[in-house]
Structure 1
Amino acid sequence: MKHIIILTDGAGDYEMGILGNMTPLEVAKTPYLDELAQKGEVGLVQTIPEGMQPGSDVANLAVMGYAPDKYHTGRSPLEAASMGVPLIDTDITFRCNIVTLTEDEPYEEKTILDHSSGDITTEESTQLILDIREKLQTEFIQYYPGVSYRHLILWKKGPYDFDLTPPHDILTQKITNYLPKGPHKDILYNMMSNSYDLLKDHPINIARKERGLNPANSIWIWGEGKKPQLDPFYDKYQLKGSVISAVDLINGIGILAGLQPVKVEGATGTLHTNFDGKGKAAIETLLNGDDFVYIHLEAPDECGHQGDLEGKIKSLELIDEKIVGAIKNALNEAKEDYRIMILPDHMTPIAKRTHTSDPVPYMIYDSTQNTNLSQNRYTEKSAKTSGNFFNDGPSLMDYFIKPNARK
């Protein structure tokens, strides 16, 4: 039996008047999801534990079966694992976004316009981070380039006493009240403000503005954490598997869990990612010995942050065709038995442009029980009315792998 999780990051949403009081998931044309939902199970799961922030780090740990209150030590050390940055117990890491701020005010009064600098290319952002590293790196504070706008800072023997805000939580807001807080806040603030002085007139940003693109004119520091330790996924579930994602966070969780990261050329974590390549990579790993694959699709989340309703709907349709449909058809043709679970890690509603802690809809399909069980589509509404509810992600994961254990 093959087990596949298709993680549609941020796909859940609220009913919208502009959509006739429906959600993007209800409006999107998703024939494969609809077919699986009619032959499977839909329901809700609470992926974000009470009192924890609704981040992809917390939520994906939960979905993969790791209770966040036990295993979560911060977002950035998970990304460090994917980037191959070795950590010791006294290291503190931070996520380092390259963002777009307004240009006319003093730094502390600027407004954040874009948490991703217009989904800046990895080539451009790497050069910017390397230039920052040349000017700002010290013996103890080091910069590591990542993918697109997502980078890493490592502070050797650093403090762990900050109050930091994710940039995607404060889009279009003045940054004054969201700058670093804590006894050592000035060190991080100076790194951020100095980065603006280095980047505002950088040739890459001059060229971006000439092309009508957002300049990547400041770093934004958040997501601090310490070295984590995850129990091996194989020991938990007796499944050998892989993880397919464009972002270091998800690959890092997979690496720490003992899953094999699969690199897909053209995978970007945006609407323009290589959906075909991700689907084909998942099929190849499953047909060549893997029992489990975790496919992470970032595009719905990015569209949610950008307030891009059309893009979010399009991303769901592409996932349905290029991922869900492709995997279903290939495994059927190969006569493989399989279970698929599809769900977001958290909601990223268009109206809020940030993550929420709402329960998210899940759908489970088992190819060995191929009978019509309902007339449901896979939507937030059908999940809510199903009566199926899991209090936490690890419980749902246990049920997905061992469905008889709950009965």
Structure 2
Amino acid sequence: MKYFILLTDGAADYEVEALGGKTPLEAADMKNINAYARKGRVGMVKTVPEGIAPGSDAANLSVMGYDPRVYLTGRSPLEAVSIGIDMNDTDVAFRANIITVEGDGAYEDLIIKDHSSGDIPTEDADVLIKACNEAFETDKIKFYTGVSYRHCMIVHEGSTAYNLTPPHDVLDQKVGDNLPKGEGSEFITEMMKKSYEILDNHPINVARKEKGLNPANTLWIWGQGTKPALTSFEERYGIKGAAISAVDLIKGIAICAGLDSIDVEGATGNKHTNYDGKAKAAIEAYKNGTEFIYMHMEAPDECSHQGDMEGKVECLETIDEKIFAPIVKYLEEEGEDFRVLVIPDHRTPLVLRTHSREPVPFVLYDSTMKLDADENKSFCEKSGQTGLYFANGDELAEFFFTNK
């Protein structure tokens, strides 16, 4: 038996007036996924438990079968693992975004414009993170370059007891309304303010401004947590697996779970990613004995954060054509039994430009089950409400991998 999870990050949404009252999933022409929905099963699942923020960390753990109430220690530690940071038990990892703020006057009065700095290339971001390290590195604090705008800060013998806000949750709001809170958090605020002085007129950002690109002109620190400990995926399910993603968070979850993390050249984590390369990597992994592929596609989420409705619909159609279709075609032609799960981790509604916690739809197909085709079933929110329901994401994972 082969297993394939296609994770369409942030794909679930609300109805959009400009799409004729449809959601992006309804509006997108996903003829391949929907063909398997018609002969498979659809449903809804609550991937994020109450009391936990609807982040990709909690939601992807949930979809992979790990209850975030048990296993989630923070987002950044998972990302730290993926870029090779060997954390001590007393270390605290923080996500260090480099974001775009704009306006005049005091730092507190600036407006948070873009959490991704226009998807800044990693090679440019690396220069900026090194500049921050030169300014802030001590025997307790160090920055590490990640991918694009997503980076990591490690604090030795640090604290997690701060109230830190993800920048994508507060777009178009004042910096001063969203600065760190909690005892001892002042050092983070001062670091962020100082970083603006360092980065705003850095040659990298001067050049970006001249080209009409968003400058990566301040650090934004959030997502703190301690060293994670996941039980082995292979020990739990007896399945050898791998994850394919451009996002450090997903790579970190995979590594912590004992899955292989497959890198693909040109995989960017946005709508311009290397779709063909990711599909080929999955097929090659199957040929080499991998039984399970977790294919994570970040593009729908990024489009929602940017308010890019057309881009979201377009990338969903490309995922259907260039990711789902060739991989499932390979599985069909091999003749071995297989199961497929297509699912978002959470909703990222275009109108909100951030995550929400409502249940998300899924499509589940099992080649060993011959169901009567139902033309009314598709991969969307409305169709999902007519099918199965799981109150927790890890319960869906258990059902998918064990059929129990």
TM bucket, shorter chain: over 0.9
1:385 is matched by which residue type in structure 2? T
Render the CA deviation track for 1:257-276: whole Å, top value 9, x for unaligned: 00000010000100000011
Does residue 329 of structure 1 match 2:332?
Answer: no
Q: Secondary structure at the match of 1:265?
A: coil
Shift of 1:160: 2.1
Q: Secondary structure at the match of 1:361?
A: strand
Cα distance in 2 for partners of 1:358, 1:377 equals 19
Shift of 1:336: 2.5
Q: Secondary structure at the match of 1:123?
A: helix
1:377 is matched by which residue type in structure 2? S
Cα distance in 2 for partners of 1:342, 1:105 equals 47
Structure 2 alignment gaps of length 5 or more:
none
Cα distance in 1 for partners of 2:143, 2:84 equals 13
Cα distance in 1 for partners of 2:227, 2:371 equals 46
1:380 is matched by which residue type in structure 2? E
TM-score, normalization by structure 2? 0.98
Q: Secondary structure at the match of 2:4?
A: strand
Q: Secondary structure at the match of 2:11?
A: strand
Cα distance in 1 for partners of 2:112, 2:71 equals 31
Cα distance in 2 for partners of 1:402, 1:231 equals 17
Render the CA deviation track for 1:373-406: whole Å, top value 9, x for unaligned: 32211111000122x1000011000000122x2x
Equivalences for residues 316-395 of structure 1 within 5 A: 316-375=316-375, 376-386=377-387, 388-395=388-395
Q: Which residue of 2 aligns with 1:61?
A: 61
Cα distance in 2 for partners of 1:9, 1:80 equals 20
Render the CA deviation track for 1:32-65: whole Å, top value 9, x for unaligned: 0110000100000000001100000000011100
Cα distance in 1 for partners of 2:287, 2:6 equals 17
Structure 1 alignment gaps of length 5 or more:
none
Q: Which residue of 1 aligns with 2:114?
A: 114
Render the CA deviation track for 1:56-102: whole Å, top value 9, x for unaligned: 00000111001101101000000011011011111011000000001
Q: Which residue of 1 aligns with 2:87?
A: 87
Cα distance in 1 for partners of 2:354, 2:92 equals 26
Q: Which residue of 1 aligns with 2:177?
A: 177
Render the CA deviation track for 1:102-153: whole Å, top value 9, x for unaligned: 1412011111000000000001101100111112211101000000000000
Render the CA deviation track for 1:160-192: whole Å, top value 9, x for unaligned: 210000000000111212100011121000110
1:258 is matched by which residue type in structure 2? G
Render the CA deviation track for 1:343-402: whole Å, top value 9, x for unaligned: 00000000000000010001101122354432211111000122x100001100000012
2:170 is matched by which residue type in structure 1? I
1:338 is matched by which residue type in structure 2? F
Shift of 1:328: 1.1
Does residue 212 of structure 1 match 2:220?
Answer: no
Q: Secondary structure at the match of 2:385?
A: helix
Render the CA deviation track for 1:223-247: whole Å, top value 9, x for unaligned: 0000110000011110001010001
1:280 is matched by which residue type in structure 2? K
2:398 is matched by which residue type in structure 1? D
Cα distance in 1 for partners of 2:151, 2:402 equals 37
Cα distance in 2 for partners of 1:334, 1:67 equals 33
Work out the percentage of aligned pairs sharing the same amino acid. Answer: 53
Does residue 188 of structure 1 match 2:188?
Answer: yes
2:169 is matched by which residue type in structure 1? D
Cα distance in 2 for partners of 1:256, 1:136 equals 29
Contact 2:42 2:386 in 1 (8 A): no
Contact 2:103 2:109 in 1 (8 A): no
TM-score, normalization by structure 1? 0.98
Equivalences for residues 3-402 of structure 1 within 5 A: 3-375=3-375, 376-386=377-387, 388-402=388-402
Q: Which moved more, 1:132-141 or 1:371-380?
A: 371-380
Cα distance in 1 for partners of 2:87, 2:248 equals 15
Shift of 1:214: 0.3
Cα distance in 2 for partners of 1:159, 1:319 equals 40
The CA RMSD over aligned residues, in Å, is 0.9
1:75 is matched by which residue type in structure 2? R
